[in-house]
Amino acid sequence: MKQKLIVGNWKMNGSLAANAALLQALKQGLPEGGKAGVAVAAPAVYLAQLQAELSGSAIGIGAQDVSQHEQGAFTGEVSAVMLKEFGARYVLVGHSERRQYHGETDAVVAAKAQAALAKGITPIVCVGETLQEREAGQTEAVVKRQLAAVIHQVGACVSELVVAYEPVWAIGTGKTATPEQAQAVHAVLRAQLAAATEHAGRVPLLYGGSMNAANAEQLLAQTDIDGGLVGGASLKAADFLTIVAAAQ
């Protein structure tokens, strides 16, 4: 079976003390020789802490956003090179909260994915429909449009992406997509990737949106669900470790 990947998205949560306790618990609780890949995406100011606490551990470091620009007069932004200096292996791009609250367009998301790849960081490209779009029967069209922008931008590097399907209506709401609903969209994304690269099978397709200790196993059992992007449940060590265990 293909290796699964579980990524915690801490969002704008944490403190030096809380992070230290959480990371300690994760390091202690991860199974020896576990097969699943594990990473946590923290606020940028905590990347130095992650780098120090996670050195020598199997937990990868992730960031939650990256600038599309290399450097210069972009106050408040953080570049891919800066993230790389602090050990970032992954960066979320196009999370629905960035699209919704920060006006990130498909084009900006694609440029960010490209900026990350150019510096050797794996972008985790987030796509997903709102409830309104789902009810209007637009789910497939929306996720395909979002992914197409990135595929078009990154060209031959498409096989180096991670893609996360996160239905907006399921994020932080406790409403999870059913395994069947999630699998149906993942199959669409896989087919879209397959049209762009012969290596589509190796692009991890993560599901995100109220994944938790109780529902992870069923979601992860679906053919095209290769892992999870976990928000709320990633802040509780026991829950996150249960999800990781379900991915082994």
Active site residue 85: no
- Closer residue to ligand PGA (CB): 114 or 228: 228
> Of 95, 104, 129, 133, which residue is the catalytic one?
95
Which lies closer to ligand PGA via its Cβ, residue 189 or residue 196? 189
**Cα–Cα distance measured from residue 167 to residue 163, given in angstroms and rounded to the nearest whole number:** 13
Those residues whose C-beta lies under 8 Å from the C-beta of residue 137, and which sit 6 or more positions away, are none
Residue 129 or 166 having the CB closest to ligand PGA: 166
- Nearest approach, Cβ of residue 32 and ligand PGA (Å): 27
Dump the DSSP string for 141-200: HHHHHHHHHHHHHHGGGGGG-EEEE--GGGTTTS-PPPHHHHHHHHHHHHHHHHHH-TTG
Least gap, CB of 212 to ligand PGA (angstroms)? 7
- Is residue 161 within 8 A of residue 130, CB to CB? The reply is no
Q: Is the CB of 9 or the CB of 114 nearer to ligand PGA?
A: 9
Closest residue to bound ligand PGA by CB: 231
Residue 140 beta carbon to ligand PGA: minimum distance, rounded to whole angstroms: 21
Residues at the interface with ligand PGA (CB under 6 A): 9, 166, 171-172, 208-211, 229-233
Clarify whether 217 is annotated catalytic: no
Q: Are 182 and 207 in contact (CB under 8 A)?
A: yes
Q: Strands 227-230 and 5-9: what pairing? A: parallel
Catalytic residue, chosen from 97, 129, 166, 186, is 166
Rounded CA-CA distance 67/62 in Å is 14
**Catalytic positions:** 95, 166
